[in-house]
A = this chain, B = another copy of it.
Amino acid sequence: MAQGTIGTSEFDRDTAIARRAPGTSAVFDADLSAGWTIGHAVNGGYLLALLGRALGETLRHPDPFSITAHYLSASKPGPALIRTEQIRASRTLSTGQATLLQFDEDGAEVERIRVLATYGELDALPEDVRTTAKPPALPPYERCLSSEDGDPSTTPEIAGRLDIRLDPATAGWAIGAPGGQGEMRGWFGLADGRDPDPLALLLAVDALPPAVFELGVTGWVPTIELTAHIRSRPAPGPLRVSVSTRNLAGGYLEEDAEVWDSQDRLVAQSRQLARVLRTS
């Protein structure tokens, strides 16, 4: 496969948007690719990246510092419309909202996702770092498990777009032996080799299998709400992602993700509220 680069990769092609008119309230046409699905559902992180791109083209500042998505109904591959609005802009930060719409059989609008976000400029931040968090301890890439090590009949479409290698210590669920820890760790890259940027981090925070698979939960774990903080522009090279759930209760769970770049910098932190439909 040819080396993907920022701007021309599969990810950039499938998150491309076409703006209808300029201004601080904007409308974009998008086409949700069937290449980023898990079963019938389009991946939430891919959709967040698409909305993040539209907000980046609308707001005064380019980079998502904090972005929250509420997933209202399941998106389907095909045409979609994104509406964005700048709510406020100061010298250093701007806040906006976005909505992703599709159309039903009668042509009526169906809202899929509502987003609220504050953007800034990552490259303008001072260099100071006082992080007490530690990168996940992961075996080397070549000793971790790819989707090709699993059952091909259950491999989702999105697996062909991603290069995810799971730590074998957190992959027991894949052979029916969940480890019981509520953690998932792995290497993350785009399959075509494109380097990470802030938009790819929005994909990375929701790309690993749900951490609750290691607690015996199976099937679809739909996201109700996901918030991601992008804390630094990622260095080139593979990312390490750790995902954990500490409070599975009342049929809901939180899932926290941390994304570390090749320079050991904590580049993204996210939390989502998700719903359990099935427990084995």
Within 8 A of B (CB), among A227-276: 227, 229, 231-232, 246-252, 254, 266, 269, 271, 273
Residues of B within 8 A of A68 (CB): 68, 116, 225, 227
Q: Is A169 an interface residue (CB 8 A)?
A: no
Residues of B within 8 A of A249 (CB): 128-131, 231-232, 266
Compute how far the CA of A93 lies from the CA of B70 in the bound complex, rounded to whole angstroms: 11
Give the number of chain A interface residues (Cβ < 8 Å).
Answer: 47
Q: Are A231 and B250 in contact (CB under 8 A)?
A: yes
Q: Are B111 and A87 in contact (CB under 8 A)?
A: yes
Q: Which of A111, A116, A125 has the most CB of B within 10 A?
A: A116
Q: Are B266 and A247 in contact (CB under 8 A)?
A: yes
Compute how far the CA of A273 lies from the CA of B120 in the bound complex, rounded to whole angstroms: 13
Q: Are B246 and A131 in contact (CB under 8 A)?
A: yes
Compute how far the CA of A114 lies from the CA of B98 in the bound complex, rounded to whole angstroms: 13
Interface string of A102-126 (1 = CB under 8 A from B): 0000000001001111100010011
Q: Are A131 and B227 in contact (CB under 8 A)?
A: no
Residues of B within 8 A of A130 (CB): 215, 248-249
Residues of B within 8 A of A231 (CB): 247, 249-250, 252, 254
Q: Is A153 an interface residue (CB 8 A)?
A: no
Q: Are B129 and A114 in contact (CB under 8 A)?
A: no
Q: Is A16 an interface residue (CB 8 A)?
A: no
List 16 other contacts, CB 8 Å, given A229-B254, A231-B249. Answer: A65-B224, A66-B70, A66-B225, A68-B225, A70-B117, A70-B118, A72-B95, A87-B114, A116-B116, A125-B252, A128-B250, A129-B250, A132-B182, A229-B271, A247-B269, A269-B271
Q: Is A127 an interface residue (CB 8 A)?
A: yes
User: Please, which residue of chain B has its CB at the minimum distance from the CB of A67?
Assistant: B225
Pick 10 A–B contacts, CB within 8 A, sort by A: A65-B252, A65-B273, A87-B111, A118-B273, A127-B250, A128-B251, A130-B249, A227-B227, A229-B273, A232-B249
User: Please, which residue of chain B has its CB at the minimum distance from the CB of A250?
Assistant: B125
Residues of B within 8 A of A133 (CB): 246-247
Residues of B within 8 A of A66 (CB): 70, 224-225, 273
Compute how far the CA of A231 lies from the CA of B254 in the bound complex, rounded to whole angstroms: 9
Q: Are B111 and A114 in contact (CB under 8 A)?
A: no
Q: Is A58 an interface residue (CB 8 A)?
A: no
Residues of B within 8 A of A73 (CB): 88
